Structure 1
Amino acid sequence: MAAKILANLIVMGSGILGRAVFQAYRKALENASKNGVAHEAINNIRRPSKVLTEQEARQILGLSEQASWEEVLQKYDALFERNAKNGSFYLQSKVHRAKEALESVYRGDSTGTS
């Protein structure tokens, strides 16, 4: 009888401990992603040496010089979402910076092509 009670306590205890570890892991992942966003917001001050050139931005997004603004947005959305789900925050921020750099190029062009 005591062995059965002890076995039940061990099984229940390990289940509770397993759930607690899993919840702590999920919370740590949430906090890590929040810290990345906060870190990016803090470092969002533009410095001339950190601004991408048009050529670098096109390379990051994989676009040719004849790409339209719609193609830029499609590539941006696809790459940004892919890195948001299972990629890195660093690559996601590079994709965002590339779109910002190309946005200034396309802003002066009303037709949407360069």
Structure 2
Amino acid sequence: SAPPSQAHLVFATVFVVVWVGAGVVTVNAQLLGGTVSFFQSVCVLGYCMFPLVLAALVTHILNGAVLKVSVTAGCLVWAILASRGFLTDVVPQNRKLLATYPIALFYAVVSWMILVGN
């Protein structure tokens, strides 16, 4: 948790991590032979991040590390499954795992930021 004077720095860091992460995942999907446009993929990744936003709100209210980790882990799985349903359909069948791994890694980094920030 950062002091109030560094709120702009925290926002900028989260903003850059989300945009760069979504961009890297999108470029990876395109390099794997995906047929999705850049902005379409970035938007889908953003929409599928809703469970992690929910986890951030819930963990801000809850007390107890085990409960916070459990909620964040559940929302992480939810976000991965949601985005996998959208983005792996545009990647060739034999490359679905290669497209899913960066998505999981991206959302895991965001989940880690949620846990560290609370």
TM-score (norm 1): 0.32
Higher relative contact order, structure no. (Cα contacts within 8 Å, ≥ 6 residues apart): 2
TM-score (norm 2): 0.31
Larger radius of gyration: 1
